[in-house]
């Protein structure tokens, strides 16, 4: 029996080296060893133990075999799990690397985005700073302008007070009818009282045939009575022709207290004697001094043998706007140097304003609408101690009349000169 057990253990160990074998001992009584029955009983018990051992061994081997299968499956599963874990770890590492790379891109994008935001913020801050500086500059400029306006207002107020005082004095003189004063009180928005000898004039329609200076022989006595320094000369100013002139670089002209920076004259020859090209025209650079027209001696019939010129005058302020006359700010124009002698008779007519006579002047408005002297008005004819037809004469009003313009934005008037019987030596003016 013991030998079988040992052989069985050897087989199990050989088959399963990790097998754990537990042994137990059972004693079987053989009686006194002399009885056959006892021996048979003993033999049966030993056989039964052998059978039990074989059953136990078979059971163990069966369980061990199944356990081995399970172990093999577990090991295969373990290997699969380990392989899966390895793959998962590798994938996780790859994901981690990708995430790290992606995070780097995100971080870089965030860095660039933040840099762009910082740059924009810096630019905006710079704009804010520049705007603050600009606002400060504008405020300072406005402050200076306000101070300048205040100074100008003070100056204007002073001028207004002086004008008011002069107006009151002149009104008193008008009331008394004293010579040299207009026959009614007129407001004046346009100031052309001072000469503009420094003005520059330009020809818009066609260039002059020549340009002469003060003192030129062509000017004759006009060099003594005019302040202009430069003169355009047109050898032929044709009937029906219009010449336009622009005057700039003005220093004294103003309207309603605002500076006039540009004057425009459009002069049209509406009637010429002795043919279409009989008139020579001279235009001074000072717009306050009008123009000079030359012609040959005529027939002596001033109503028929005459030359007439229509003038349209426009005035522009510093901002480019055109002066508009009104009752509050009218334009009062003085037409002077209107001679009546044995050489020629000078007159104005067709004014877009209203003629207003001057006390003591020889010029009056006739029924036919001409503002002229009805008789000769030389200094000797008027018994004056000096010539009146000069810019500095205290008697200049003797050959003058005014025209008041209370609406519109341009002034229109026609100047005329008719021939008288005495010849002037080839030219009359």
The pLDDT confidence band at residue 427, using thresholds 50, 70 and 90, is very low
pLDDT score of 429 = 46
**Tokens matching residue 271:** 């009637």
How much is the pLDDT for 191? 92
CA distance 332 to 171: 16
Could you tell me what percent of the chain has a pLDDT over 90?
Answer: 41
Binning pLDDT at 50, 70 and 90, where does residue 28 land? low
Whether 426 shows a pLDDT value over 50: the answer reads no
The pLDDT score that the predictor gives to residue 124 is 80
Q: Does 85 have pLDDT greater than 70?
A: yes
pLDDT 10s digits, 260-310: 999 999 999 999 876 677 899 999 999 999 899 988 877 788 888 889 999
For residues 311 and 350, give the distance between their C-alpha atoms in angstroms, rounded to a whole number. 10
DSSP states of 167-228 as a string?
HHHHHHHHHHT-TTSBSS-----EE--S--TT-EEEESSS--SEEEETT-GGGTTHHHH---
- Asked if the model's pLDDT at residue 363 lies above 90, the reply is yes
Which of the two residues, 88 and 364, has the higher pLDDT score? 364
Query: For 251-261, what is the mean pLDDT?
Result: 94
Cβ contact 313:263 at 8 Å: yes
In Å, what is the CA distance from 186 to each residue of 268, 279, 302, 358, 366?
29, 36, 33, 12, 22
Question: Band of the pLDDT at 68, cuts 50, 70, 90?
Answer: confident
Instruction: Quote the CA–CA distance of 214 and 282 in Å, as a whole number.
Output: 12
Average confidence (pLDDT) over 218-234: 89
What whole-number distance in Å separates Cα of residue 253 and Cα of residue 196? Answer: 8
The reported pLDDT for the residue numbered 12 is 64
Collapse the DSSP code of 316 into the 3-class scheme (helix H, G, I; strand E, B; otherwise coil) and give the result.
strand
Token readout for 84 is: 């899966």
Taking 90 as the threshold, does the pLDDT of residue 114 lie above it? no
Asked which of 171-185, 253-267, 329-343, 344-358 is least confident by mean pLDDT, the reply is: 171-185
Residue 46 has pLDDT above 60, yes or no: yes
The residue to which tokens 């000169």 are assigned = 417
Of 140-149, 288-297, 308-317, where does the model show the most confidence? Answer: 308-317
Q: Work out the mean pLDDT of the chain and round it to a whole number.
A: 84
């Amino acid at each position: 029996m013991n030998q079988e057990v040992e052989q069985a253990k050897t087989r199990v160990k050989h088959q399963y080296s990790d097998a754990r074998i537990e042994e137990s001992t059972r004693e079987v009584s053989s009686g006194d060893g002399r009885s056959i029955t006892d021996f048979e009983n003993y033999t049966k018990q030993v056989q039964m133990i052998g059978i039990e051992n074989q059953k136990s061994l078979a059971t163990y081997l069966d369980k061990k075999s199944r356990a081995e299968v399970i172990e093999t499956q577990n090991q295969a599963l373990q290997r699969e799990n380990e392989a899966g874990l390895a793959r998962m770890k590798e994938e996780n590492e790859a994901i981690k690397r990708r995430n790290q790379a992606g995070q780097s891109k995100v971080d870089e994008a965030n860095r660039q985005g933040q840099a762009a935001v910082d740059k924009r913020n810096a630019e905006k801050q710079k704009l804010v700073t520049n705007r603050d500086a600009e606002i400060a500059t504008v405020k300072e400029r406005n402050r200076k302008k306000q101070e300048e306006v205040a100074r100008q207002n003070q100056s204007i107020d002073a001028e207004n007070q002086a004008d008011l005082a002069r107006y009151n004095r002149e009104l008193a003189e008008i009331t008394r009818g004293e010579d040299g004063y207009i026959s009614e009180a007129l407001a004046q928005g346009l100031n052309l009282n001072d000469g503009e000898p420094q003005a520059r004039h330009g020809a818009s329609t066609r260039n002059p045939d020549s340009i002469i200076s003060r003192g030129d022989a062509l000017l004759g006595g006009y060099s003594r009575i005019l302040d202009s320094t430069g003169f355009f000369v047109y050898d032929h100013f044709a009937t029906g022709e219009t010449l336009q002139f622009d005057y700039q670089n003005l220093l004294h002209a103003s309207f309603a207290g605002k500076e006039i920076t540009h004057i425009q004259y459009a002069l049209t020859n509406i009637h010429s004697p002795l043919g279409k090209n009989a008139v020579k025209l001279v235009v001074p650079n000072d717009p306050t001094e009008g123009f000079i027209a030359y012609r040959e001696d005529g027939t002596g019939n001033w109503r028929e043998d005459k030359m007439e010129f229509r003038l349209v005058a426009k005035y522009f302020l510093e901002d480019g706007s055109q002066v508009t006359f009104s009752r509050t700010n009218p334009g009062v124009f003085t037409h002077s140097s209107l001679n009546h002698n044995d050489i020629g008779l000078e007159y104005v007519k067709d004014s877009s304003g209203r003629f207003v006579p001057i006390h003591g002047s020889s010029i009056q408005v006739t029924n036919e609408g001409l503002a002229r002297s009805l008789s000769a008005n030389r200094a000797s004819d008027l018994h004056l101690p000096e010539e009146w037809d000069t810019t500095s004469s205290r008697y200049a009003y003797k050959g003058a009349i005014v025209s008041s313009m209370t609406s519109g934005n341009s002034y229109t008037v026609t100047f005329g000169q008719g021939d008288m019987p005495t010849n002037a030596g080839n030219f009359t003016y």
